[in-house]
Amino acid sequence: MNVTPLDRWALSRELTRLANADPMALAREPLRDPPAHAARRVGITGAPGAGKSTLVGHLAQLRAPRGRLGVLAVDPSSPKSGGAILGDRVRMDELAGNAQLYIRSLGSRRTGDGLADNLPEMLELMDRFGFDDVLLETVGVGQAEHAVRAQVDTMVLVLLPDSGDIVQAMKAGIMEMADIFVVHKADLPGAQRMATDIRRIATMARHAPGDWVPPILLSAAGDPASLQALSDTIDRHQAWHAQAPGVRALARARRARYRLRRLLELRIGQFIAQQDGAFFDTPIAEQLAQAVAALPHAEETPC
């Protein structure tokens, strides 16, 4: 547990800098040694309206007394203005005042995968500021919601009773990526039936000896025992993740691939946005060649 005071001003300022950083500026930042301490990362994902923010708020209340806890909540950005409502922070106002708890809302900006620009760098910053746990709430975009898998240790998929989300999850392959299934708002009709459907589909997945088998939980905001059960299950998965052979190495490689891909996507996006109509009248092969040429050369990037 981290007992040193948290410099909220420095953290907020650095998060803002990273959120606004140009991909080339990030690529040229000096290399640092990996942080001595890595936060346990928990992703809370699911379709809009599943109650993710409420669930994150309750989890934060349960887990914050155990150490320094950060909440990064991604809100959808307007494709026209780029602005975001940032409503998750408003819904978590009751958590304010805890010296060990830090909440930050992030606009999704140019991403389409439920996350935010430069998120890998921001998560690494949370490590450098000594956070013990980080809860990452995605924006909730349905079939594209699997990108969070690369950024967290534990992925919690939140579903609603009789919402049809299970069909979307199957299409996107999320069923194979989730570590914990939660049927939230379980006080509504159809919760048990939804849990049964998930269990039936999950039995088709093959697990090697020693693999983690995703449990299926039911939760409700008015049922503290169900929320505690979810927090305890997260702890059990984190313990398994820390000890399972090869899991950490796989997670590092997955995060590195995502980070590089996002920087390349942002850089190419910048290049395309700068072109006028005449550029797109040229052959596609020429367009592609110019876009690739706009990427940094090896001698321009730090060693």
- Domains of the chain as residue ranges with CATH: 8-246 (3.40.50.300), 257-300 (no CATH)
Which is it for the CA torsion 92, 144, 180, 234, positive or negative?
negative
What integer pLDDT is reported at residue 164 of this predicted model?
A: 60
**Quick one: angle between helices 52-63 and 224-243, nearest 10?**
70
Backbone conformation region of residue 51, classed left if phi is above 0, alpha if psi is from -120 to 50, else beta:
left
What integer pLDDT is reported at residue 20 of this predicted model?
A: 84
Helices (H), 28-183: 52-63, 87-91, 119-128, 165-172
* pLDDT tens track for 191-220: 888 888 888 877 777 777 888 999 999 999
Rounded Cα–Cα distance for residues 126 and 154 (Å): 17
Residue 1's Cβ-count burial label (10 Å; 0-12, 13-18, 19+) is exposed
What integer pLDDT is reported at residue 14 of this predicted model?
A: 92
pTM of the full structure = 0.79
3-state secondary structure of 24: helix
What integer pLDDT is reported at residue 9 of this predicted model?
A: 92
Q: Which residues of the chain have pLDDT under 70?
A: 1-3, 30-31, 76-97, 108-116, 140-146, 163-174, 296-303
Measured CA to CA in angstroms, residue 143 lies from 118, 170, 197 at distances of: 21, 9, 19
What integer pLDDT is reported at residue 225 of this predicted model?
A: 96
